[in-house]
Amino acid sequence: MRELTYKDALHEALDQIMAEDDRVFLLGEDIGVYGGAFGVTGDLQEKYGKDRVVDTPISEAAITGACVGAALTGMHPVGEIMFSDFVTLSMEQLVLQASRIRFMFGGKATVPMVLRLPGGSGTGASGQHSGSYESWFIHVPGLKVVMPSTPYDAKGLLLAAIEDPNPVMFFEHKLLYRTKGPVPEEMYTIPIGKSQVVREGKDLTIIATSVMVMRSLEAAQKLAEEGIEVEIIDPRTLNPLDMEPIIASIIKTGKALVVHEAVKTGGFGAEVAGRIVESEAFAYLDAPIRRLAGLDMPIPYNRNLEYHAVPQVENIVEESRKIVQGVY
């Protein structure tokens, strides 16, 4: 199959859906001539004009609210928040409006909007441009939270998100934009709310998100050299969360490790661990469920500190080894 970068896969998804569906339009800061801070929208303004690829002033609350209003009236807006950190300025419109308008209006309104959110550390962007905020939004009923880790998933999930009648928070990762992988040329969707086993193994189940899927796969190779076979599951959608493959896997391996970049306390890992404990997999566990996550701190500027603030391949190897060998 043809290979594309994660960034180009997203671009292609936007391009194809815009050609087909004139309800879809894009809204955000510097997404036109500049092509987006990370180049995702690229040439789309040239192609579809300024009415459908709308450059906004620096006004995140209004960008988000504009998506809500347009969605309420039949459009399918895709907003871009330049760095996911700035979604903190969109909170009211997301949490108190977008997420619950449908419910409060007795199920009679729909808000089919997508907010694209480039996040994560590893680029030296320091404390206000490097965060991972996905777990804030899994706490908000009415919002869906999607976090693709491959170009294939990026395209398919973005198209599914745009099609979805609900507000979808679409978390991209800056370090993934340049990664390459097979992507079909035609349009396709990947169902929201479907976890995927990305590597099979018998000794340990790793549940990883976003860039941590890539790091876990690398760790798995190293572990395989030591005779440890890990199974890796990428939930891809954090809410609604598909636990089925996770439970099935733990019943097989008896051990679980959740890996994410966002800080540990109150993170997605806690939710996964909680659901495992509540499930039939609990009886099959022969070791505590472990979480590897970002330290409970903002991302530091210094390159070395930044590196140590979030899980790296060697941390995943070490933690997996400990769990499998029963020493921690």
Partner 1 sequence: MEKEKLLEGELTPKDAKHLLYLMVLTRAFEENAEEMYALGKVHGTMHLSIGQEAIAAGASSAITRDDYLLNTHRGHGHFLAWGGDLNRMMAEFLGKENGYCRGRGGSMHIADIESNNLGANGIVGGNLPIAVGVGLSIKIRKTNQVVLTLFGDGAANEGAFHESLNMASIWNLPIIYLCENNLYAMSTPFDQAFKIEEISQRAVAYGIKGVTVDGNDVFAVHQAVREAAERARYGNGPTLIEAITYRWRGHSKSDRQAYRTREEVKEWMEKDPIPRFAKKIGVSDKEMEEIQERVKIDIQKAVEFAENSPEPDVSTILEGVYA
Ligand X SMILES: Cc1ncc(C[n+]2csc(CCOP(=O)(O)OP(=O)(O)O)c2C)c(N)n1
The answer to whether residues 189 and 176 touch, using CB atoms and an 8 Å cutoff, is no
How many residues touch partner 1 (CB under 8 A)?
36
When asked if residue 299 is in the footprint of ligand X (CB under 6 A), the reply is no
* Residue 91 binding ligand X, by CB under 6 A: no
Q: What is the DSSP letter of 93?
A: I
Catalytic annotation, pick one of 11, 29, 76, 129: 129
In contact, 297 and 264? CB cutoff 8 Å: no
- Under DSSP, the state recorded for 87 is G
User: Does residue number 80 form part of the binding site for ligand X (CB under 6 A)?
Assistant: no
**Contact range with ligand X by CB under 6 A, out of 13-21, 82-90, 113-121, 236-244:** 82-90
H-assigned helices in the chain: 6-20, 44-48, 60-72, 91, 101-104, 134-138, 151-163, 211-225, 244-253, 268-278, 303-309, 313-325
Candidate residues 29, 231, 234, 261; the one interacting with partner 1 per rule CB under 8 A: 29
Q: Does 86 bind ligand X (CB under 6 A)?
A: yes
Q: Which of 15, 16, 23, 55 binds partner 1 (CB under 8 A)?
A: 55
Q: Which of 187, 224, 295, 313 binds partner 1 (CB under 8 A)?
A: 295
Contacted entry of ligand X, partner 1, none for residue 110, CB cut-off 5 to 8 Å set by kind: none
Q: Tell me whether strands 76-80 and 53-55 are parallel, antiparallel or unpaired.
A: unpaired
Which 82-101 residues touch partner 1, going by CB under 8 A? 85-86, 89
Compute the distance between CA of residue 31 and CA of residue 54 in angstroms, rounded to an integer.
7
Asked if residue 317 lies in contact with residue 223, where contact means CB atoms within 8 angstroms, the answer is: yes
260 binds partner 1 (CB under 8 A): no
Q: How far is the CB of 261 from partner 1 (least distance, A)?
A: 15
Which residues of 105-167 form beta strands (DSSP E)? 114-119, 144-146
Subset of residues 13 to 32 that bind ligand X, contact rule: CB under 6 A: 29
One-letter identity of residue 74: G
301 in contact with partner 1 (CB under 8 A): yes
Instruction: Give me the catalytic one of 12, 29, 60, 231.
Output: 60
DSSP 3-state of 59: coil
CB of 54 to partner 1, least distance (A): 11
Considering CB distances under 5 to 8 angstroms, the limit depending on partner class, which of partner 1, ligand X, none binds residue 305?
Answer: partner 1
Residue 55 interacts with, from partner 1, ligand X, none (CB under 5-8 Å by kind) = partner 1
Number of other CB atoms surrounding residue 21 within 10 Å: 13
Q: Is 38 in the site for ligand X (CB under 6 A)?
A: no
Known catalytic residue at 129: yes
Is residue 308 flagged as an active site residue? no
82 binds ligand X (CB under 6 A): yes
For the chain, what's the residue count? 328
Interface pattern 45-64 for ligand X (x via CB under 6 A):
-------------x-x----
Rounded Cα distance between 138 and 36, Å, is 26
Q: In one letter, which amino acid is 317? A: V
Quote the CA–CA distance of 113 and 73 in Å, as a whole number. 11
Residue numbers annotated as active site: 60, 129
Chain residues that interact with ligand X, rule: CB under 6 A: 29, 58, 60, 82, 86, 89
